[in-house]
Structure 1
Amino acid sequence: MNDWTTSHDRVLAQRRAEGWMFLIEAARDLRTTGAIAPSGRALSRALTDPVRDLAGRPLTVLEVGGGTGAVTRALIPQLSRGSRLDIVEANPRFAAQLRDLVASHPHLAGTPRQVDVHQTYVEQLDTDQQYDVIISGLPLTNFTPAQVERIMARYMDLLHPGGTLTYFAYLGTRAIRALTASQAEARRHASVEAVMSTYQRAYGTGRWTVWANLPPAHVWHLQRPLVTADRSESQSAKAKR
């Protein structure tokens, strides 16, 4: 058996194990796990594109909802020398797996403090750091509108001015819920989409469809303005004096 075959078999075994782990966690709490399978390669690549686009300079990156590490593994090799990655994961079993991934990843050999895993919710992340890129894997359409508003506001606070937030949403979830869920659940989902639409209109810079994922998904890029509205209004008022 050659090295390629051994490596290929190891990757397949890892993906099967992660798939089973995702199913187990989804059975425990689908609302916070948000899916029944980890993100595929195409979706992981689309989510990490902003980091790839900024390659060549040190970056501060935040991944929220790291799960079993599908996106993390696509992200780590893209980190330039001197970059910093914080991973937020509230599920203790996922957080433990992410720490194992970080400890054993060959790209991080000799730089163990380049990546940190925080077992917490992003709203409770204790940091003064601002980030060039935030990659969100949270199942936002599973939360209440108030929770989504708090999370999105937190993302914008954590971004550097000009920084990019990237996140995904599965296709067809509203139609499925309209057919299968209660009226209250369908209204909650529609209200969450209304919150997200507000942010998309205000900050959106692009949307892509990833068909090669189970299920297919839209990937959104949002950018924090270089100058906030409050600051712009303040500067305008001073100029008129």
Structure 2
Amino acid sequence: MHPKFKRGRAVALESRRTAVGDYLDFLAAWVKKPRQTASVVPSSRYLAQLMVRDLDPADGRVLELGGGTGVFTRAILATGLPAEKLEVVEINPGFARSLRRHFPGASILEVPAQSVSGHAAGERGSYQIVVSGLPLLAMDKALHVAILSEAFAMLQPGGSFVQFTYSLRSPVSQSVLNALDLEVSRVGQTVRNFPPATVFRFTRRGE
């Protein structure tokens, strides 16, 4: 067998093993806390690529909320962003351990998303983007306000909060957007995810 074919086969096999492992980890987390995990399967790489589409590896730091099995984390680092510029928030201890094992250069924070500023390495206003895998549809408006307020305190001028949802509509109500002086735009949708997902980008009005 040609060496290149062997390498390609090994990479494909490792990719399948990772996908199966991610699925089993996600399923176990969903069984324990269905509202916190929200889905029985991890997000697809197609959704991950859509989530990081506007990320500039040469710009500021990046904050990921709800790292899960690391699907978005891989996509973030695949853009060329240095691992030391990435911080991932994950309150599930099992997922957090796995993230530390697979992404040793990134900082994994086991803290609530609404209080991340007290634990993040970067200064407030130094992050270019917040990539969120949080199940916002399972949360109430008060928690939306708390999480978005914290996220935008961390973002630099012109920075954005990127969120996916299994709905065609924004997961954040207009009343919350008005209260925080934010606006939302639709980034895109992928049917190559189960369930199909839509990605939204939140920014400060006028930026």
With structure 2 as the length reference, what TM-score do the two structures score? Answer: 0.85
Mapped partners of 2:31, 2:65: distance in 1 = 21
- Assess if the C-alpha contact under 8 Å between 1:59 and 1:80 holds in 2: no
- Assess if the C-alpha contact under 8 Å between 1:88 and 1:119 holds in 2: yes
- Assess if the C-alpha contact under 8 Å between 1:89 and 1:95 holds in 2: yes
Q: Which has the larger radius of gyration?
A: 1
| Count of residues paired in the alignment | 198
Distance 1:199 1:213, change over 3 A: farther
* Alpha-carbon offset, residue 69 of structure 1: 0.3
Mapped partners of 2:51, 2:179: distance in 1 = 18
Q: 1:145 corresponds to which residue?
A: 141
Q: 2:27 corresponds to which residue?
A: 23
Q: Percent identity?
A: 25
Higher fraction of helix: 1
* Alpha-carbon offset, residue 210 of structure 1: 1.3
Mapped partners of 2:187, 2:181: distance in 1 = 12
Of 142, 159, 167, which aligns to 2:163? 167
- Assess if the C-alpha contact under 8 Å between 1:159 and 1:224 holds in 2: no
1:66-145 → structure 2 map (5 Å cutoff): 66-80=67-81, 84-103=85-104, 112=105, 115-125=106-116, 126=118, 127=120, 128-130=123-125, 131-145=127-141
* Counterpart AA for 1:73: R
* Counterpart AA for 2:113: V
* Alpha-carbon offset, residue 172 of structure 1: 6.7
Distance 1:141 1:200, change over 3 A: farther
**Secondary structure at the counterpart of residue 50 of structure 1:** coil
Could you tell me which runs of 5 or more consecutive residues in structure 2 were left unpaired when the two chains were aligned: none
* Alpha-carbon offset, residue 161 of structure 1: 1.3
Mapped partners of 1:217, 1:68: distance in 2 = 18
* Alpha-carbon offset, residue 224 of structure 1: 2.7
Could you tell me which runs of 5 or more consecutive residues in structure 1 were left unpaired when the two chains were aligned: 104-111, 174-188, 228-241
**Secondary structure at the counterpart of residue 35 of structure 1:** coil
Of 8, 14, 22, which aligns to 2:12? 8
Distance 1:23 1:81, change over 3 A: closer
Mapped partners of 1:97, 1:84: distance in 2 = 19
Mapped partners of 2:80, 2:41: distance in 1 = 25
Displacement over 6 Å in runs of 4+: none
1:44-55 → structure 2 map (5 Å cutoff): 44-51=48-55, 54-55=56-57
Of 187, 191, 206, which aligns to 1:207? 187
Q: 1:177 corresponds to which residue?
A: none
**Secondary structure at the counterpart of residue 62 of structure 1:** strand
**Secondary structure at the counterpart of residue 54 of structure 2:** helix
**Secondary structure at the counterpart of residue 134 of structure 2:** coil
